[in-house]
Amino acid sequence: MMKKIGTLLLLAVSLFFASCNDSDDTPTTATLTLNLSGLEALGASYVYEGWIIVNGSPVSTGTFTSVSFPQSFVVDATQLASATTFVLSIEPAVDPDPTPAATKVLAGDFSGSSANVTTGIVGDFSAAAGAFFLRTPTDETGTNNGNDQYGVWFGTPGAPPTPNFVLPTLPAGWAYEGWVVGDNGPISTGTFTTFNTMDSSNGFSGTQNNAGPPIPGEDFFLNAPTGETFPLDIRGRTVVISVEPVPDDSAAPFAMKPLVGTAGQDTAPNTHNFGQNLGSLPTGTVTR
């Protein structure tokens, strides 16, 4: 009988310690809450992903597609308590790479239980400025054809025209894109990362000199998008410079639109100034 009691006692003690060890092996979790504003939905192939920087290394806090906030995520409590920084990136929806992509849109350091996050990781747009002019260089034969209202170019007119943007050089993963708001929505003039070369697109331009001048811009003569009538008169229309993720599967402008202007009635050599639109830059608070 004593041997049986001893065996039962030993079994009970073993179960107790096993239970304690199992409890110790279970990580303690905590909640990370994102309260962000200014983000817009991505194309179907991409998601937002949060990251905390722990001992200099990124740790994912989860992905999301909805841009309604607040949103909360369950993360490891020890890692969250040790985190120094929060970063928000744009990632492929199917992503074999466990590290953050170059398209980091928001970041901020933790101070106590919260971090204020801004687009400073993309660039400082506080001094953003620039101008554009109306001219149709891809439909000219050396003389003005009297139809300059059908083209928009970013810079100062001249021979050749010169850039006048005051904008930061963007990090990898980002590009600028020009837009004109047509009758059926925004029409892209092409993407660019430097201001003294042609942009990525001339699909709407004329045929005389389809390459265009050495600055970003577009003439609107050919291949009108659905709902638009070309040639497109730019006068009185809204002109936008956005900051776009690269790659980008959305046909619409991204949330970040640091420069917005309205084309006046005058064509080149007159210019039209952009105004700052810094309220479009996403921002927010992350709480742990």
Each residue's pLDDT expressed in tens, for the chain with a length of 288 residues = 444 344 433 434 343 434 444 445 567 999 999 999 999 999 999 999 999 999 999 999 999 999 999 999 999 999 999 999 999 999 999 999 999 999 999 999 999 999 999 999 999 999 999 999 999 999 875 556 789 999 999 999 998 999 999 999 999 999 999 999 999 999 999 999 999 999 998 899 976 666 789 999 999 999 999 999 999 999 999 999 999 999 999 999 999 999 999 999 999 999 999 999 999 999 999 999
- pLDDT at position 23 is 46
- pLDDT at position 214 is 94
Distance CA 270, CA 81 (A): 57
Nearest-5° Cα angle at 201, 198 to 205:
95
Q: What is the CA radius of gyration of the chain?
A: 27
Judge contact between 61 and 50, C-beta under 8 A: yes
Partnered with residue 286 across adjacent β-strands are 34, 115
Judge contact between 79 and 27, C-beta under 8 A: no
Which two three-digit tokens encode residue 256?
A: 């970040």
- pLDDT at position 145 is 76
- pLDDT at position 207 is 67
**Model pTM above 0.85:** yes
